[in-house]
Amino acid sequence: MSTRPTRTPHRPALAALAAAALLAGCSGPSGDAGDPAPAASRGSAVSAERCAQNEAAGTVTYVTGYQFQASASILDPVAAEALGYFDALCLDVRIQPGSGETAQNAQLVAAGTAQVSSIAGASDVLVNVGNGVDVTAVALFGHVPVATLMTRPDVTDLEQLEGTVLGQKGALPVTIEAMLRTAGVDVAKVEQVVVGYDPSVLVRGQVRSLTGYKSNEPLTLRALGEEVTQWNPEDYGVPGSMATTIVNPAFLAEHPTAVQDFLRAQLHAYAYCEQHAAECVGYAAESSQAGYDVEHNEQVWRTEAQLVDGSQPAGQPLGAIDVATVRAEAEFLVRMGQIDAVPDVDALVDEDVVAGLYSGTELLWPAP
């Protein structure tokens, strides 16, 4: 089976400099599209009792999926901190840049070194849980795999990759492996090498195929004028998800309001950043070290927001995670031989955290 996606040119958008960050009120950030959110003081979006409960949680360490890249579930917490949303809910949050290795993030959360983290998708959660890592998934933003496999245009069938070199970032994404197997590829005949985050190794011929993210490496290559083909798991019937939030189970049990209000602030910031992309990317640039590509990261955010919005089930609030979706991914992973058995999905998913944040599909802000 071969699916040949269309290729379109990339033109990076110009990003504006970051504006001053302040707090929004009511059910969503107010102000015109170009205006910063209005100011508010600590605890202004939460009752005194709930404020005390959140402060009792101490410092909440959040590990990003990869550095300060402007991805869904990375940019929104960064913006929530800059905009004062965490402070308005009496949360003290420390944002720690992640390395991009989902297993490492999961292990940090399981060990209690971090309390919250973003991870690529539910499949990555399932694989880590299958390896004995104890985490709880509480939110999920996109209902489509974010991983992609890139080749030069001369590759017209995935079976052509047998006997060639595939570049990956430390582990072959589970959705990519499932896609290859579904397409009839003998994965054992594909040599895998670990490469960095410079996608030019593909166009220089150092690898025949390269794993990446739809919102990152393809944009970089097209901005350089390079033509690539993207092979996407969903085109092969592979279920997947993106921007999943995991928490330490003991921390969730001891400080449920802190976890819930972390997500409340994150979702509030997500809505703001959809309307103020350049401003929010500016906050990430300020948090990052020198060399942050503002233009590229604004395109990353816009691409991922489109993936999230385009895959959102009708009538379901943003961030909602449900057992049925995760179980479907687990069953597929078992069929593909990537995990031995379907785990106790009811135990590793907590649907109630996000459900309690909404009235219908309207985010409750301030906290009730």
**What whole-number distance in Å separates Cα of residue 138 and Cα of residue 140?**
7
The whole-number pLDDT of residue 36 equals 53
Q: Is residue 329 scored above 50 in pLDDT?
A: yes
The whole-number pLDDT of residue 123 equals 86
What letter represents residue 223's amino acid? A
CB 257 within 8 A of CB 50: yes
The 10s digit of each residue's pLDDT in 273-309 is: 999 999 999 999 999 977 899 999 999 999 999 999 9
CB-based burial label for 2 (10 Å; 0-12, 13-18, 19+): middle
Q: What pLDDT band is residue 37 in, cutting at 50, 70 and 90?
A: low
The whole-number pLDDT of residue 20 equals 31
Encoded tokens for 249: 């189970």
Mean pLDDT score, 331-346:
88
For residue 293, give the nearest of 203, 220, 196 by alpha carbon: 220
For residue 54, give the nearest of 41, 40, 43 by alpha carbon: 43
The domain made up of 48-145+241-363 is a member of CATH 3.40.718.10: no
Which residue ranges does the chain devote to CATH 3.40.190.10? 48-145+241-363, 147-236
Superfamily in which the 147-236 domain is placed by CATH: Periplasmic binding protein-like II (3.40.190.10)
What letter represents residue 310's amino acid? G
Q: Taken in order 244, 249, 250, 256, is the CA torsion positive or negative?
A: positive
**What whole-number distance in Å separates Cα of residue 153 and Cα of residue 173?**
22
